[in-house]
Amino acid sequence: MMTFGELNVFSAEDTRALLRRCASWLKPGGKLLLEVHTFAEVKRQGLAERNWQPCPVGLFLDRPHLLLTENQWDETTQVSTTLFWALEDNGGVTRFSSRMMAWRDDEYQQLLAECGFSDIRKIPGEEWPVSDTFDGKLLALMAVMTGD
């Protein structure tokens, strides 16, 4: 199982390698559950406006800071990049970044099939509910390892 869109943080090459490794660990008929970001959500994040946010504590630092966030979307590579600068009162600056690869529904299907999976299906929201915060942003896929 791989949840909360973590598959999207890998490059296309690393995603394929990871899924092939998962396939090698499963017996025929074994199942892989993936919760991935929708294409629209990854693109939305890449096109989001830059912002400043005061943080008493946060994901990046355990002390007060001002967080600057800038986003970029590359249509050719289908990659969203987010750059973060945490600015502290003492003048310290810490830089972080993240990237996400966007895959369309049919691309997820093709990717899983290439890596040895079959019977790939999207799990309906009523079977795999997400919070209102992530509704329409994440989707769940079930894939079965090919073989007898």
Task: Indicate the domain borders of the chain.
Answer: 6-145
Q: What are the backbone dihedrals phi and psi of residue 50, each rounded to the nearest 5 degrees, phi first?
A: -70, 155
SS3 89: coil
Closest residue by Cα to residue 50 from 74, 70, 72? 70
pTM over 0.85: yes
Q: Are 29 and 116 in contact (CB under 8 A)?
A: no
Residuewise pLDDT in 10s, the chain (148 residues): 888 889 999 999 999 999 999 999 999 999 999 999 999 999 999 999 999 999 998 878 999 999 999 999 999 999 999 999 999 999 999 999 999 999 999 999 999 999 999 999 999 988 888 888 898 899 999 999 987 6
Secondary structure tally for the chain: helices H, strands E: 3, 7
Q: Are 4 and 37 in contact (CB under 8 A)?
A: no
Q: What are the backbone dihedrals phi and psi of residue 21, each rounded to the nearest 5 degrees, phi first?
A: -65, -45
